[in-house]
Amino acid sequence: MTQTRDPYRELERRWRQLSTGGNFRLREVACPNAACSLLCVESGDPGLATVAIAAGVHGDEPAGPWALLALAESRRLDSRFAYRIWPCTNPTGLRMGTRTNADGVDVNRTFGGRGESSEAKAILDANRDRVFLLSVDLHEDCDASGFYCYEYGGGTIGLDVIATLEKNGYPIDPLDAALERGRMVPDRVEEAELLGGFSYSLAIAPHARHTLTFETPSSAPWSTRLAMHGEAVCAAIAAC
Ligand SMILES: [Zn+2]
């Protein structure tokens, strides 16, 4: 892990550095009333089927943003697709190491309507210009014993993701015995009611053919969590 006093500043520096190579186009998306703007990174011809990848909406789940950066830096993203990348959707949370943003808001419950937080508003507004083939949001779970995912949209890409991680020797969370191993397939409306708000994935699902949320176990070694997210994203893209 890149340990600095301000992990978001370091993350931003690395994305800016990567974007000078020409394969990634970086822009700042204004986030009115928030302490900082959001980074949005694009790659590929916008006419290609687009994959949206987001991370860092919970600032105490750092593996997602760093795994996403590592994926981009290692050029493992399949060039048959275009990408819209949100490197960190809660910069102040990552900076402080908190689930919420600097205003104490769980950003991942504010994606209802046109957005109920500055971050959600900015993301929903920017994402309105596209529909997505695949959307992935990267999280971590301190109670999990292995990797698991949520899948929306009626597809079965999550099954390929779980099979790939298992084949590569990573632990899979058994989840509840009544559920599938490693994959939950929730009803969007029921989940929003249960959560008390719309998450990023719940909001983007109607605009994406496949929508997945990935969760790595916070108790696993750092390198394992990064590798799990990387493998999972590549497996999901390969299954499209
Ligand atoms: Zn989370």
2 located within any domain: no
**What total of structural domains would you count in the chain?**
1
- Give the pLDDT confidence of 13-34 residue by residue, as tens digits: 999 999 999 899 999 999 988 8
Which of 167, 157, 176 has the alpha carbon at shortest distance from 214?
157
Mean pLDDT over 71-80 rounds to 96
Would you tell me how many other CB atoms lie within 10 Å of the CB of residue 218?
A: 17
- Give the pLDDT confidence of 35-67 residue by residue, as tens digits: 889 999 999 998 999 999 999 999 999 999 999
Report the alpha-carbon distance of residue 181 to residue 90 in Å, rounded.
30
Q: Which domain holds residue 148?
A: 7-238
**Whether pLDDT at 167 is above 90:** yes
CA of 20 to the centre of ligand 1 (A): 30
Take residue 185 and report the two structure tokens written for it.
């397939």
CA of 140 to the centre of ligand 1 (A): 5
Query: Which phi and psi angles does 28 have, rounded to 5°?
Result: -100, 130
CA of 134 to the centre of ligand 1 (A): 19
1 located within any domain: no
Angle 201-203-207 from CA coordinates, rounded to 5°: 95
CATH of the domain at 233: 3.40.630.10
129 located within any domain: yes
Which of 66, 68, 67 has the alpha carbon at shortest distance from 52?
68
CA of 9 to the centre of ligand 1 (A): 21
CA of 107 to the centre of ligand 1 (A): 10
pTM for the full model? 0.97
93 located within any domain: yes
